[in-house]
Copies of this chain bind each other. A is one copy, B any other.
Amino acid sequence: MPTESAPSHVIVSGLESVGATVSLSPEESHYLLRVCRVRAGDRVIATDGLGTRSTVRVLEARSPVTAEIESLDRQVRRCEAWVMCGVPEGERADWMVEKLAELGVAAFQPIDCDRGGWGRAGLRMDRWQRLARAALRQSQGRFAMELRPPTSIDAALDALAEGAECWLAAPSGAAACTCRPRAEGVVTGAVGPSSGFAPRELRILESRGFTAISLSTSRLRTETAALAWSAWWAASTGFP
Contacts and interface: CB of A to CB of B under 8 A. Distances in A.
Interface of A: 3, 5-6, 95, 99, 102-104, 138-141, 175-177, 180, 195-196, 215-221, 224, 227-228, 231-232, 234-240
Residue of A217, A219, A235 with most partner-chain B CB within 10 A = A235
A155 to B, nearest CB: 27
Contact of A138 (B95, B102, B219): B219
Copies in the complex: 2
A101 B156 CA distance: 32
Contact of A224 (B102, B140, B232): B102
Contacts of A228: 103, 231, 234-235
30 contacts: A99-B224, A99-B227, A102-B220, A102-B221, A103-B224, A103-B228, A104-B216, A138-B221, A139-B216, A139-B219, A140-B219, A141-B217, A141-B219, A176-B234, A176-B236, A177-B180, A177-B236, A177-B239, A215-B234, A216-B231, A216-B235, A216-B238, A227-B227, A227-B231, A228-B231, A228-B235, A231-B231, A231-B232, A232-B235, A235-B235
